[in-house]
Amino acid sequence: MSRLAETATPMDALLAILDLEKLEENLFRGLSPQVGWQRVFGGQVIGQALVAAQRTVDEGRFVHSLHAYFMRPGDPSVPIIYDVDRIRDGSSFATRRVVAIQHGKAIFSMSASFQYDEDGFDHQFEMPKVAMPETLPGEQELKEKFLIHAPEAIRRYWERPRPIEIRPVSLEHYFSRDKLQPTQDVWVKAVGTVPDERHLQAAVLAYLSDMTLLDTSLYAHGTSVFDRNLQVASLDHAMWFHRPSKMDDWLLYTQDSPSAHGARGMTRGSLFDRSGVLIASVAQEGLIRKKATE
């Protein structure tokens, strides 16, 4: 744990947890930051699993998709072992399967596909027209002006130092208990420098892709992930990496939840850079269950 304790900033800590220790061929060990969380943040496991898979493919192949399942909550007090299965190395694509293990049991599994860069057809949806991040309140302004009246759970969430800054285009979802449209637009940005290396940039992007996504499925029901009467957890996570991004500027994370049913909520997300280039698409289903009351 000393490697994490020596880091100076939240971004240093994120880069440290993504720097897995190699134990043996196809076997890696990752640590978790000791910040008082009861379980490991899902984006951390996705990012670490992607790093483990990347270290078993040729440097010239880059991730274009991943599909993951969360099976058990991660324990932040002990290391996570990542076991990589080299399923296939083709002439263009390589496929890997990663299983994350704690206490002798699988907590997470992921399949990922990698490809050499190729030319081909090119189109994308346009980025929605929203307020730019400089016109929105920053985290410090949010803390000073809005969080003083916010519920304790929301205050703790926003006051914790994080490697990713979040600027919601609208704050209505955070403070209203009205039933709202299950959509949101959020600007996100790395706080600190992410090295100019595509594999690591993809891992940081995967890490942040789990932030705020499940929240959107609850807006239509007048509640949020901060509701202590709810049991909320990510069940699966899929991501497609369309175009590389250097992670040195704001990204717009536009989200919508087309369905909630059977104690599950499904959300889709699109990540655009400031210029409107679509860099990634995300889909996630999460558990959104009301806790039993006596």
Question: What pLDDT was estimated at residue 142?
Answer: 75
Q: Is 115 a catalytic residue?
A: no
Q: Is 65 a catalytic residue?
A: no
Catalytic-labelled residue, pool 234, 257, 270, 281: 234
* Distance from C-alpha of 219 to C-alpha of 180, rounded to nearest angstrom: 5
Q: Is 176 a catalytic residue?
A: no
Question: What pLDDT was estimated at residue 2?
Answer: 42
Digits of tens for pLDDT over the chain (294 positions)? 345 555 578 999 999 999 999 999 999 999 998 766 678 999 999 999 999 999 999 999 999 999 999 999 999 999 999 999 999 999 999 999 999 999 999 999 999 999 999 999 999 999 999 999 999 988 778 777 666 766 676 667 667 788 999 999 998 877 778 899 999 999 999 999 999 999 999 999 999 999 999 999 999 999 888 788 899 999 999 999 999 999 999 999 999 999 999 999 999 999 999 999 999 999 999 999 988 765
Strand order in the sheet with 61-70: 21-24, 27-30, 80-89, 93-102, 105-116, 61-70, 230-241, 278-290, 264-273, 251-261, 183-190, 164-168
Which amino acid is located at 100 in the chain? A
Catalytic-labelled residue, pool 111, 209, 210, 255: 210
